Amino acid sequence: MNGLEGIRVVELTSYVAAPACPRILGEMGAEIIKVEPFTGDEQRTQGPGFGMKRNDIEDPAFDMSSLNKNWVSVNLKNPEGLAFVYKLVESADIVVTSFRDKALVKLGLDYETLSARFPHIVYGHMRGYGERGPEKDSKGFDATAYSARGGLITSFPQKGESPVNVPAAFGDFNASIALTAGVLAALVNKQRTGKGDKVVVNLYHMAVWAMQIAMVSRQAGAEYPRSRKEVPCPTNNCYKSGDGIWFLICNGNYNKYFDEMFTAFGLEHLVGNTDYNTLEVIGEHKRTGEVIAMLEAAFAKKTFAEWETIFKQHEIPYQKCHTVDDVLADEEAYANDILRPLHYQAFGRRVIPTSPIRLKSVGDPELRTSKPIGYHTREYLLKYGYTAADIARLEAAGAVKCFQGEL
């Protein structure tokens, strides 16, 4: 078998951060069973808020966190509906949820209840905030728990500017990688011992983890937000070429490469100058602004194409500051299957990022778009021993919902 083929995941989630984890597992070959309420995951309603169109069959916005899944719709408050979900869990390896604690306990889907009944289950829980502390029962979204509380929206802009608009779900998709890593670690141990485990990731923690340099350097006096005209390392900064293109150079070892870099930048007169050739000196004597100003003037003398040749010749790490349009047109992204075109009947060609993890045994994964609410409910009920008469009775009792119609 290849990748995670044969691994079954039951998903009890909504929105993005938690659902994106099973999407990644699905691209690795796992079987994903997404359990939705009759009204569907609330993320199905979010497309217009991102400026995207959707209909009842196709939804590019929803696909971003929900490719490669099987869709069952169950009323978890109905005893027979819950009994069906327990059957799914019993035969699964992993459960992923983002429900809050009170709801999980009330439904009997909390870790303590499920692990007592099914000790083999790996239980992945995505939260807004931690399991302890004043926010443990609060709703937590990417924008609030990650970007706002985690300090991103006030640290990213230039000093003196207003908070930035971080792209929606920026933290969600990053947190999903951490939850994926956690459940896979627990899965390895489960396969060795037969015993499951609980994996917890929260958005606030993910933001602070990503902000480590800011968190630690601030305690030594570094400022956040900061100005690009005052950064402590002038050769790890953004500049503008003579033809108006912004680019970033990233050579943090200023001291080691000073002579070569400043020669390449046309500032040979500074080579060997002990007033400028170490970060310690320019920091202590507050000369970083002077160096940045000299670099700005130097970079304004050539076009970006000219600088690109020089950067490559001297192996100076650099990149043009891409816009989203630049990324969407980037050959590198398509050559490495970072971006994948999909075709929608209603919307035509759309491009979507693939998950960033590759298994050689799987290769570039198949991508299957999301399906309507309850699309696979009947199929899974039959697979788990329910008869056609049973299904009709469960539908009539409001325990399950089956999709009616054809795609």
Instruction: Provide the Cα torsion 245, 250, 253, 258; round to 10°.
Output: -20
**DSSP string spanning 218-239?**
HTTT--SS--TTS-S-TTEEEE
Query: Considering Cα of 237, then 242, then 246, then 249, what sign does the dihedral take?
Result: negative
In the chain, the amino acid numbered 194 is G
Residue written as token pair 């060795």 = 192
Q: Would you say 254 and 287 are in contact if contact means Cβ atoms under 8 Å apart? A: no
Measure the CA–CA gap between 262 and 115, rounded to whole angstroms. Answer: 61
H-only helix segments in 236-364: 254-264, 279-284, 288-299, 304-313, 324-328, 331-335
Q: Which of 59, 110, 142, 172 is catalytic?
A: 172
Residue 316 Cα distances to 7, 299, 385, angstroms: 44, 14, 63
Q: In the annotation, is 172 catalytic?
A: yes
Query: Considering Cα of 341, then 169, then 324, then 25, what sign does the dihedral take?
Result: negative
Q: Give the closest residue to 77 by CA, choosing from 57, 99, 58, 98.
A: 99
Run of H or E residues at 193: helix 170-193
Residue written as token pair 């920026």 = 170
Q: Would you say 207 and 149 are in contact if contact means Cβ atoms under 8 Å apart? A: yes
Measure the CA–CA gap between 118 and 10, rounded to whole angstroms. Answer: 13
Q: Would you say 130 and 202 are in contact if contact means Cβ atoms under 8 Å apart? A: yes
Run of H or E residues at 152: helix 152-155
Cis peptide before 19 (omega within 30 of 0): no
| Active-site residue set | 172
